[in-house]
Chain A
Amino acid sequence: MLISQPRIPAAAHCTLPVMETTQHHHPAPAAPVGPPPAPIAGTETATLNIEGMTCASCSNFVEKALSRTPGVKSATVNLASEKATIEYLPGQIDRAGLRAAVEQAGYGVHEASPAVAANVLASDEELDARKAAAYENLKRRFQVAVALAVVVMGLSMLMLWPAMMSRVSMPVLNYVLLALTLPVLLYSGREFFVSAWNGFLHRTASMDTLIAVGTGAAFLYSLAATLIPGWFRQHGIMPEVYYDTTATIIALILLGKVLESRAKSKTSAAIKALMGLQAKTARVVRGGQEMDVPIEQVLVGDEVLVRPGEKVATDGLILTGRSAVDESMLTGESLPVEKKEGDNVFGATLNKTGSFRFRVSKVGAETMLAQIVKLVEEAQGSRAPIQQLADKVSAVFVPVVIMIAIATFVVWFDFAPEASRVPLALVGFVAVLIIACPCALGLATPTAIMVGTGKGAEHGVLIRNAEALEKAEKVTTVLLDKTGTITRGEPAVTDFVPTNGDTPAHLLPLLAAVERQSEHPLAEAVVRYADAQGAAAGTTPLTATAFQAYEGRGAGATVDGQVILLGNRRLLSENNVVLSSETEQAAAQLLSQAKTVLYAAIGGHVAALIGVADTVRESSLAAIQALQADGIEVVMMTGDNQQTAAKVAEQVGIKRFFAEVLPADKASKVKELQAEGRVVAMVGDGINDAPALAQADIGLAMGGGTDVAMEAAGITLMRSDLQGVVTAIDLSRQTMRTIKQNLFFAFIYNTLGIPIAAGLLYPFTGWLLSPMLAAGAMALSSVSVLTNSLRLRGYQAKA
């Protein structure tokens, strides 16, 4: 079975230079490849990346060469994608044989390893090289234009000096100016004319059309005045030339392009910086030996060694060792994170203090870094609703400007005094074409979004798309799910009450020794508390023997010769430990504060009560205050009872809260707030809160490093505290402000500039805009918009 040959625009492709490599574009965003064509019985299908094809006849040649090879059933070669799809009989020929057949035909086969092909982090070096070359070329054309324009300008100015005017022959000077202007037009300005012509063939008009028509008109008029001045005089027109105008316009527009190109490359600097974070090599342990391996060759399941000061190569799970890891590049969290056995580590983060080994769990496009890059890239490709008007205007802008310019010419010609009507009409026509700047409109929104989303990623705020950014700006109310956002979402010891008159310093090491053996989250909380207290007191940990876990009740062990029990009340009553009434009272008080109570018994007597609860993060109060200072109402929602909720709310300065909210009712609480006319941002952990996040005007998921691509959330926060919410809203406000400034400027610039250039002010003030000034204004307008967007790069998160 043959696959139909794709239509290939042969004429276009024959001008292709010989390619050395196949495409290096980013891989498709998770586009699953469809089922391969059903193979003929016993055949297999292979895809080869072919190098060196420059035109349709090349691809036909490769296709024929492959089809004639014994063992090949059919072959299809696609020139555009530079791929050959071959169906072959595995018994007769293999991949290497197919490769040889292609090479014999004079072309190459590029074997891309799947790991490399799947890596979004591989920056496109070829694209960068071509961009750099294009920039150099642009600069050269600009330099030539400037050098010649200065001379043309100087000579034209000299002629305003009467003493010179009488000595120099006008026609000769005009020919000199023509000779100087030609290279500016044909070399420096060539691109405008080529591009305008290409557009004309497609019935599209761009910036280049305006410049080409404007400078072309000025040049052709001057050319005629140079070649046939007599004809002009016969008709009562002074044969004036506008070579200085032509050359200067091109020089100024190119200056604008050079500046624009420089500024534009900076808008994507953040994402490039992210890509650059990836480690180049990893120290892999294979067969008991350590070796440095290029990152592309690291496989899932490999064991990787990381020493202090080294970058973590890719994502994985720590096998042995412990350390502090700086994850600020991914999460924006400035403090290093403690990592131990069993914890996740992420590629591109920086190992600080200790050494550890980890087992690779993700490589390439699967890693956290690659997902972040992908998310930011997608956000930068999204369309902002605010841009709609500008887009509509851009679509009709150029043809409309051309029509205005024609009308300007006609009006001046018909109404200006006869002696000056031709120059006035021409100057008006050219000035209108040159001053119009659709680019400012086109750049206003996307550049700000690119800088804004990139900046967000730097701070651990991942914005899904431009729409999310717009929504975040409008937020009036932030609804927080208490657990995991305001609080840590993990238990911590809040109260330690000795009941037998002993001191905590004596009791804690004993209890910690038991709990160290347990894996229960409550036990971990006790160990953490004891460690923190012990570190302050400088005590050494004790060891426990005869450890026993009582499921659902607690644990027991012998420490320092004493039998210790630690668990719930049932554990104690089962072991016939009696509680005094004072102890009962203390326990009841802890319980009333919605705390979990652990009972500790030593040698059959109650020794202490431990209150455990989810604790408020230190940063929560400051973050909530920052939001409130920005005029946002912060509302809390929790499954806890009224009393506990009120206590937490008071602690962090929240006035309004919903208590005893069942998980299923979270979304309806969002609706309730929306019904009050509020624009609601819902902050949750992204897993349990998905419906509420989706219901909210904007959902912010606190990732805490779990999953970057959270579908329900418009914004994912990599940091696991509320500071990210402050940054997200603040950054979106600043970005939107920049966009509005840009759009305002771009619209005002064009709506004022075009009428002024057309000479609307002339009847009242006698002002006419020189086309050269128009060119300067136009060059500056798009650069101003870009520069304004780049100001966002200096964004600092509120502390």
Chain B
Amino acid sequence: MDTSQIIVTLVGVGLLAFVGWFFFLAPHRVAAAVSSLAGVQQVDIVVKGGYSPNVIEVEHGKPVQLNFYRDEEGTCSEELLLPDFNIRRDLAPFKTTAIEFLPKQAGTFEFTCGMHMLRGSLVVK
């Protein structure tokens, strides 16, 4: 093994560890601020390569309005799924799409893009 092979191997192993840590292990949960307007729990979410915030805590029994503002044109985020509430909605680029529903039970529900790569969770308390 020559020097360059040793360097490439070490860098490669380092990168592998970094990718694994970066995507799977590092904490990256951003909680949401919920505002209440006329009894509706509202949360503004920006969609840009992911959802920020990506953890949303709401109370059950009160209507929820999630305002998704899609700040990109990339096709990966064009659909929004909230399967536990039977919601599949197209998000228009550079526009706010409001999604309304009534969480009746407590629990943690996932919302994702059409391909299940971008994810966020809705925590109903």
Contacts and interface: CB of A to CB of B under 8 A. Distances in A.
A403 interface: yes
A9 B37 contact: no
Chain A interface size, as a band, is: 35 or more
Contacts of B60: none
Contact of B98 (A25, A34, A47): A25
A257 B99 CA distance: 27
Interface string A427-441: 000000000001101
Interface stretch (A77-85, A91-99, A180-188, A645-653): A77-85
A6 B42 contact: yes
Report which residue of B76, B88, B95 has the largest number of chain A beta carbons within 10 angstroms of its beta carbon.
Answer: B76
A381 B114 CA distance: 10
Nearest to B66: A80
Contacts of B100: 27-29, 31
A31 B101 contact: yes
A548 interface: no
Contact of A6 (B22, B33, B51, B76): B33
A287 interface: no
Contacts of A203: 22-23, 26, 28, 50
A436 to B, nearest CB: 12
Nearest to A393: B116
A130 B92 contact: yes
Interface residues of B, number: 74
B19 to A, nearest CB: 5
A194 B114 CA distance: 19
B20 interface: yes
Interface string A402-438: 1100110110011000100000010000000000001
Interface string A218-242: 0000000000000000010000000
A134 interface: yes
Given A12-B71, A203-B22, A438-B117, A81 B5 contact: no
Interface in A229-264: 235, 257, 261
A368 B74 CA distance: 37
B117 A205 contact: yes
Interface in A66-95: 76, 78-83, 85
B63 A381 contact: no
B5 to A, nearest CB: 5
Task: Give chain B's interface secondary structure class.
Answer: mixed
Contacts of A208: 74, 76
A381 to B, nearest CB: 3
Nearest to B87: A381
Nearest to B76: A206
B72 interface: yes
Given A6-B42, A191-B74, A413 B26 contact: no
Contact of A206 (B71, B97, B118): B118
Given A381-B87, A394-B116, A198 B49 contact: yes
Interface centre among B39, B83, B101 (most CB of A within 10 A): B83
Contacts of B49: 195-202, 204, 206
A134 B73 contact: yes
Given A33-B39, A34-B63, A45-B38, A407 B88 contact: no
A425 to B, nearest CB: 8
Interface string A5-38: 1111100110111010001011111111111110
A267 B42 CA distance: 31
B40 to A, nearest CB: 6
Interface in B97-125: 97-102, 112-119
Given A202-B51, A399-B19, A399-B20, A380 B101 contact: no
Given A383-B83, A397-B117, A34 B38 contact: yes
A98 B46 CA distance: 30
Q: Which 6 A-B pairs have the closest CB atoms?
A: A34-B39, A198-B49, A202-B50, A28-B100, A442-B115, A195-B74
A7 B35 contact: yes
A198 B74 contact: yes
Interface string B1-43: 1101100110011011001101110101000010111111010
B16 A396 contact: no
B19 A6 contact: no
B87 A4 contact: no
A81 B38 contact: no
- Most B CB contacts (10 A, CB to CB) among A36, A201, A202 go to A202
Contacts of B4: 235, 413
A8 B44 contact: yes
Contact of B88 (A12, A16, A380): A380
A30 B92 CA distance: 23
10 contacts: A7-B33, A31-B100, A195-B49, A201-B48, A202-B54, A206-B76, A206-B118, A380-B88, A394-B116, A418-B2
A26 B88 CA distance: 11
A394 B83 CA distance: 16
A236 B33 CA distance: 58
Contacts of A418: 2
A409 B16 CA distance: 11
Interface string A363-396: 0000000000000011111110000001100111
Contacts of A78: 35, 37, 42, 67
Given A4-B35, A37-B38, A130-B95, A80 B69 contact: yes
A130 B93 CA distance: 8
Contacts of B9: 410, 413-414
A19 B19 CA distance: 40
B18 to A, nearest CB: 10
Interface string A565-592: 0000000000000000000000000000
B35 A131 contact: no
A382 B74 contact: no
Of listed B35, B64, B86, B119, residue having the most chain A CB within 10 A: B86
A418 B33 CA distance: 57
Given A202-B50, A442-B116, A81 B20 contact: no
A79 B1 CA distance: 61
A208 to B, nearest CB: 6
A691 interface: no
Nearest to A126: B92
B100 to A, nearest CB: 3
A492 B35 CA distance: 62
Nearest to A236: B4
Contacts of A391: 112, 116
A4 B36 contact: yes
Contact of A439 (B16, B33, B69, B115): B115
A194 B46 contact: no
A428 B9 CA distance: 16
